[in-house]
A and B are shown apart, each in its own frame.
Chain A
Amino acid sequence: MAKLKKGTRCSICKAKGEKEKAVVFLPHHRLALCRKHFVSWFEKRVEKTVKEFRMFSKKDRILVAVSGGKDSLSLWNALVNLGYQADGFYIDLGIDQYSQDSKQLALSFSEKIDRPLHIVSLKEELAPIPVIDTVSNRPACSACGTVKRYYMNRYAKELGYNIIATGHNLDDEVAVLFGNTLHWDVNYLKRQYPVLEEEDGFVRKVKPLCKITEKESALYAFFNGIEYIEYECPFSEGASSIEYKELLSRLEEKHPGTKLQFYTNFLKNMYPILKEHEKKEKPKKCIICGEPTYADICSVCKMRERLKKAV
């Protein structure tokens, strides 16, 4: 983000004839904002994204995937402030201190905004991530993503929610898009849309922060006094997504708006072409648990089998 010049006034206050000092500068939107107007700008941008992609309405019951991090808690806060019916869902991954701390922060936040937080323990459902990591032949983050998606979808249905909202931000989406483009991974690129429609056993999944940068999300959390887990999950060390984010930020510094353009132009120009050529395969039901899968046995049941053999 470019520098804010000394004495710059908030763009919105200025338009109203007020004199509040700006504390944040958003170069790609050419906006200098005070604390109050940054918070309202953020929430309006989330609402605009929800409407642009027709994610959900005030009638829907939304389950927010809460990790205890800045993005999921900021998303939950913004959705509740915007008047949506949004409750939280936390999966205790059993990653030692990291899980204990993030769970506590998610619980405190749920009490603060007076909305329920549903908690599922991976230790009781399957096995904690450190144990899964020992039997999995994939990186920990990939196995973790699989189990999170599985339990989120399963519990959303059980608890009567028709929308799953995740806190993926613009930087997350751009880093994934960059990685998938570097590898020309067409199958993943085809699925990179901020809305994944509901279908045969899959609940609709949405990403309302897809046009919010990681820094904007952290600033929103800061201005709202949201306490979140600031240290990294020990398993994410050396993740390529962090390298991509740092690399793309260097580009953004020189050319503000690069990330947003890369993402929105992909959605506008490339995604429709990929979508057109998609051979739509219908999901089946896992022969063990009945959850939707494209194979006979879903990835989580396969993981369970591997865990049993390892004992």
Chain B
Amino acid sequence: MEIKIKYRGKEQTLTFEKEKITAGDILKAMGLSPEYAFVVKNGEIAQEDETVSPQDEIKVVNAISGG
């Protein structure tokens, strides 16, 4: 399954082997911890076990900033 996401102002596509994908799977695939990152699904915060489909508008927010 392919999921399009928006991350730090850019669009990218994630490919998964399985058919049921959760917000937690997206964070995992991106190497991000729920400790500092979260998924927004169709404008609302998605919990880690919430399923996402290719039709959903997904944004991933990584709160860590450097400097």
Contacts and interface: CB of A to CB of B under 8 A. Distances in A.
How would you classify the secondary structure of chain A's contact residues: helix, strand, loop or mixed?
helix
B49 A1 contact: no
Interface residues of B, number: 21
A232 B45 contact: no
Contacts, number: 80
Nearest to A4: B47
B67 A222 contact: no
Interface stretch (A84-92, A244-252, A279-287, A288-296): A244-252
B33 A250 contact: yes
Contact of A141 (B33, B37, B67): B67
B64 A171 contact: yes
Contact of A1 (B10, B35, B64, B66): B35
Interface string A4-27: 101000000000000000011000
A90 B38 CA distance: 28
B62 to A, nearest CB: 8
Interface residues of A, number: 34
Please name the 8 residue pairs, one residue from A and one from B, whose CB atoms are nearest each other, closest first.
A239-B66, A236-B66, A218-B63, A249-B35, A214-B63, A242-B66, A231-B8, A215-B63
Interface of A: 1, 3-4, 6, 23-24, 69-71, 141, 144, 171, 213-215, 217-219, 222, 230-233, 236-237, 239, 241-242, 245-246, 249-250, 252-253
